[in-house]
Amino acid sequence: MILKQYYLGCLAHASYLLGDEASATGVVVDPQRDIQQYLVDAEKFGLMIRHVFLTHFHADFLAGHLELRDRCGARIHLGAQAKAEYAFVPMKDGDTLDFPGMRLQILETPGHTIESISILVFDLARDSSKPYAVLTGDTLFIGDVGRPDLRASLGWTAADLGARLYDSLHEKLLPLPDETLVYPAHGAGSLCGKQLSSDTVSSLGDQRRMNYALQPMSKEAFIALVTADQPDAPPYFTYDAILNTRERPTLDQNLEQALRPIELDEVIRLGDAGVQVLDVRDPAEYAKGHLAGSLNIGLGGQYATWAGTVLDRARPIVIIAEPGREQEAALRLGRIGFDHVKGFLRGGMEALADRPDLVWPTERASAPMVADELAGGDPPLLLDIRNPREWTAKHIDGSVNVPLNHLQERIAEIPRDRRVAVHCAGGYRSSIAVSILHQHGISNLIEMAGGLAAWEAARLPLVTAASP
């Protein structure tokens, strides 16, 4: 039996290739949309990918089940409670897929979503009576459990799904042997929970001891615990959850359109017509000079998550990238179902070499320089665009906290008659914020290079949660 985990760091997403060597059968679980790695490894292991499972309809990425179906003829398997536009095999509690050396058995584990399943993996050469592993999707993470509040817009209350999650954990997963390996669909950095570990595999026994949500408590206490203090879900989550139920074009079809070079004059015309111009370069490069009106979301950070948070799904996108990185930019948007990329600026910023009138810089300053301005007679407003939990833990005295994911809706709170100094934790999010503020005509700005990390490194004062 083969069990291989693939971990996509930018989305904190884990997917799996299971292989039965005796029958040369491959099974992919929770695939990302770009499927080439599964195809390469299946060929290396001598497998044909005949089955693809989604443990649930993922909200934070678009899965590659249709891509595997179309490329390999793989049958799609979903939980029995699932409803989808495409043909699939509904899997209910106790259903199995049996192979000479491997058995997969389904546990219906609703809670994170109503159709959630977990998959018991039996390595028959090792032990036919005890599962070797369980693929838990977003039901059980390492250090956490799946949040039950993401389906509110689809008619499910967090309390109802939280109660089902409690039952799934206590009736289906916790009775499994301690040595059963737990392989979830996400790790640290995912917004599908609040306390996920950076570990990508654990044993059920370790989770029984260490996972806060698995400790003895009443169902009511559990619901209160797992629904409290969850991070804000990006607006694209509901969009992706629905899109994962639909028949739709494949990633290859999308990239054919997205990788079209567009001349500068056409990009300007499109921008004037309402197309979103997305500059994916590093924030430091963006600050040196960028096309006026463009939005910066750098490929070096949580690019897809922030793109899904601040971009408008209804408006086309044109990409500005360093030459050679256009495909990466479009591919990573495709992973979250943002298929409305119309092309990229031919030549990147070099296309603007003769148009300095269209190039804007961002004023950046070191933390000590910002501190000097704040101590002056006409100090700027210090805008901290980190999330509230980060701000509460430590912040610069006098700063105003408007989280980046709420900046566009709260733009009226930002003064236009006063200089504004913007910062985040390290400089990635502040570049996004500055580009948003510029789009709204707020241009008397300074960005603190290096963010709060640079402020701390300069030993400048902070207010902390422990401060009086």
Distance, in Å, from the CA atom of 302 to the CA atom of 300, rounded to the nearest integer, reads 7
Cβ distance 101 to 1 under 8 Å?
yes
Q: What is residue 194's predicted lDDT score, i.e. its pLDDT?
A: 65
A 10 A CB-CB count for 397 gives: 10
Confidence of residue 152 (pLDDT cuts 50, 70, 90): low
Confidence of residue 232 (pLDDT cuts 50, 70, 90): confident
Secondary structure class of 391 (helix, strand, coil): helix
**pLDDT tens column, 254-268:** 999 899 999 999 999
Predicted TM-score (pTM) of the model is 0.92
> What does the pLDDT average to over 10-27?
96
Q: Looking at the predicted structure, is the pLDDT value of residue 153 above 80?
A: no
> What does the pLDDT average to over 79-101?
98
> What does the pLDDT average to over 199-223?
96
Confidence of residue 103 (pLDDT cuts 50, 70, 90): very high
> What does the pLDDT average to over 436-458?
96
Closest C-alpha among 375, 372, 405 to residue 388: 405
Query: What's the mean pLDDT when you consider all of the chain?
Result: 95
Confidence of residue 27 (pLDDT cuts 50, 70, 90): very high
Confidence of residue 398 (pLDDT cuts 50, 70, 90): very high
Share of the chain above pLDDT 70, in %: 98
Confidence of residue 37 (pLDDT cuts 50, 70, 90): very high
Cβ distance 182 to 201 under 8 Å?
yes
Q: What is residue 190's predicted lDDT score, i.e. its pLDDT?
A: 72
**pLDDT tens column, 276-326:** 999 999 999 999 999 999 999 999 989 999 999 999 999 999 999 999 999
Q: Interior CA angle at 357 toward 352 and 359, to 5°? A: 55
Q: Which residue has the higher pLDDT, 316 or 195?
A: 316
Distance, in Å, from the CA atom of 195 to the CA atom of 186, rounded to the nearest integer, reads 11
Q: What is residue 121's predicted lDDT score, i.e. its pLDDT?
A: 98
Structure tokens at 268: 């300007």
> What does the pLDDT average to over 375-401?
96
> What does the pLDDT average to over 29-36?
98
Closest C-alpha among 66, 103, 67, 104 to residue 88: 66
Q: Interior CA angle at 375 toward 369 and 380, to 5°? A: 75
Distance, in Å, from the CA atom of 135 to the CA atom of 112, rounded to the nearest integer, reads 14
